[in-house]
Structure formats: structure tokens, C-alpha cells
Amino acid sequence: MIGDRLRLDGRTVVVAGAGGGGIGTAVCAAAAELGANVVGLDIDEPALATARAAVAGAGAGGSFRGIVADVRVKDAVDAAVADAVAAFGSVDGLVHVVGGQRPGHWQRADEFPVADLDEVLDLNLRAALLTSQAAARAMTAAGHGGSIVHIASVAAFFAAPFSLAYSAAKAALISLTRTTAAEWGPRGIRVNAVATGTIRTPHSRGNDDADASRDAVLALRRRGTPEELAGAVVFLLSDLAGFVTGQALTVDGGSTIRPSYLGPDDIPVFMEDGDLRRRLLRD
């Protein structure tokens, strides 16, 4: 049955960046609802508390174990994965959510400090490599393969003025995804990425006017939710995606399919024929 192939019963899924009420928290709740034992990693206990509450509130079939860990630190990552194996016997999936940038990282390219580049790469690329390596070693030792999912961004596909480090890091993350998928495929380990568009999370609030302007460039005319992104993630974790690896699944509400010459009404801005415009906009 196709529904059975979506289930994650008895599997252990590590979520790096589990807390805060955003994407990682939604992934924890969705994976647990499908029967997974979820091991959430985050920088402090208050962040983990939100994930723990979300799993409990979802009436999930799986369990949640929170571990305070800085995933930019190799020893901390290795210890957390060892803890997951000790608690549940294996690691079958990894979702790496940790990433982003601080307001101070928005800078002009000709003035961008190398120290800030290092900081952004540490958070968005180095941390993903560390969690992937630890998870892959555990999966290899168990001899059963598994699934790794990285949360990337559509910023990887475009020029990103004033956000040089972040877009470069996300592009590198997709490259890392493809390379590890090729190397680890013979071991039965699938590695994929989800390239997100604009998702409404507690860390990405905006004012109503700014949101309306941003939504106008999306085919669906709205921002996404963490739960919608989690749906794509659990698909990639599950057996429904058993032949999918090395891919970047774009989940962006259609932002990447709209060319820049379209206005908010989806008609090219250079179209000046009023009668034609009215005919196309007729209900």
C-alpha cells in the first residue's frame, strides 16, 4: 500500500535545528506522526522545548529525544549521533535544517569581510557536512543505508545582491548533496536537498505591506508554511522516494517559474494593448 511506504515506523530520524517553532519543529512533528523516533538537536534547551511540545501536540506515534548540541562542533555532533544510536539502535534518517544568516551578514560584495564569510559558511555548510558525515558513518556501520535531507534555498540558483555568503553557502550545500549522494549511494544512503522559497516562520516575520509585495511574485500568491515544507521532507525520508537521490526539490510556491517581466496580474509589463489586457483578465 502506498500509505505504508510513507510510514517511518521504528526508524530513527535526527533533526539538526529542531527547535524554534519553524521548519525543524514541523519536521519533528511530521516524522513522529509517521512513527519515527525523532532525535532533535539544537543549541539550547528552550529551543528543544518547542519541538518536544509540537511532537506531543501532534498526537504523534513516534517519540522525541532532545539533545543540546552545537552542530558546528564535530565532537558535539559525533556525541549526539552516538547518543541516538545508543537510545534507539540506529540512525535511519537525518534532516539538516540549521542555517541562515544574521542581519549583519547583509553587506556589499566589495566590502564583505572574510570573517563574516567564514561564519556563514560554518553555519550553512560546515555544519551540514559534519552532521552528514556522522549520520553516514552510523548508517554504514549498521549496514542498512538511510536518507539524508538538507534544507537549502532557492537563493542557491540566483544572484543574491548583498547576500553573497548565504547564497554561495546554499549553492555549495546543493553541490555537497550531489557529491555525497554519488559517493554514498552504493551503501544505500540517499542524499537530497529541499530548496525552499519564502516560508513564514517565527524568524522571518514581515509587515503586511512587505508580505503583500513579496507574495505578488509567487505563482501561489502566498508564503509557504513550515508544515508544507515538512511534507516534502518526510517524502524524501520515506520509501516513496526510494529511487530519488542527489536531487534538489524546489518548494517555493512557484517563485522560480515566474519571469521578471510579469506584473502582479501575470501579464507582461510591456504589453500596452488595453483591449488585449482586458480580454486576458476577464473572469
Catalytic amino acids? 166
Q: Which residues make beta-bridge pairs with 248?
A: 193
SS3 251: strand
Say how far apart CA 187 and CA 85 lie, in whole Å: 18
Going across the sheet that includes 146-153, the strands are 63-68, 37-42, 12-16, 93-96, 146-153, 189-196, 248-251
Say how far apart CA 195 and CA 216 lie, in whole Å: 20
Q: Which residues lie closer than 8 Å to 227 by C-beta, 6 or more apart?
A: 26, 30
Say how far apart CA 225 and CA 27 lie, in whole Å: 11
Cβ proximity of 47 and 19 under 8 Å: yes
Q: What residue type is assigned to position 271 of the chain?
A: M
Q: Which three cell numbers stand for residue 239?
A: 520509501
